[in-house]
Amino acid sequence: MVPPFQRNWAFFLDLDGTFLDIAETPEAVSVSRSERSSLERLRSAAGGALALVSGRSLASIDELFAPLVLPAAGQNGAERRDAGGRRYQLRFPAEQLRPAAEGIRRFAARHPGLLVEDKGASVALHYRLAPRLAAAAHAAVREAAALLGDAVEVQGGKMVVEIKPTGCDKGKAIGQFMREAPFAGRIPVFLGDDATDEYGFRAVNRLGGHAVRVGAGPSAARWRLASPEAARAWLRAWLEHRKMGSEQLIGENCSDP
């Protein structure tokens, strides 16, 4: 089910597996012209209150959506760009991650199918191409993280496990946006699909907004959509609602029965 549409929403969107279809590797993901156009129209209709909240780095987000530049939180909130274009970086000595990253790279080099993604303030090990190595991948990342003590934590996701700064998450990033224009005073709506998005779901619930899980699985989200395709259709339906000026139009055929 999905919540009834309202005009004063602020949108926060995860990318891979939520707004975008998942690919075998992060580099294989692409953005179509229609998807880029949908985001432009959504931002305009929401008065600018649209932000991307992703595990990807800001550089990766910008490369995907170029030439469109949107407010965004990258690396699960370790870096952020507000609606005015100002950038914020978590005070974290990223150079401390390098020994751990090298250990993860050496492990991946011994196992075909594993992919290391070094984002700067976080390091991810993807095993989508080698799912049989899930347990070994998690163990290797935990071992690498142990070198850094309490400064970092291990976060699992869909076919990925990563090291990230302790206390840095999507929920805090959403909270920061919600204290700023043009998000402040609106109702937050966050769409996500993975374990990292649960922080955002809980934050949005506390703020009296709408948390929408895309796909199956237990979640703190009250609402649910079946797939990224359904999520894109639901967002387009909100645009039509906004255009029509109706306060209570529910998008049909976009949610789980």
Residues acting as catalytic residues: 14
Residue 182 · residue 83 · CB < 8 Å? yes
- Record the tokens describing residue 231, joined without a space: 């999520």
CA distance 244 to 74: 34
For residue 191, list its beta bridge partners: 13, 212
Phi, psi of 101, rounded to the nearest 5 degrees = -60, -40
In the block, which residue shows the tokens 């929403």? 9
Give the DSSP H or E segment for 165: strand 160-165
CA distance 125 to 32: 26
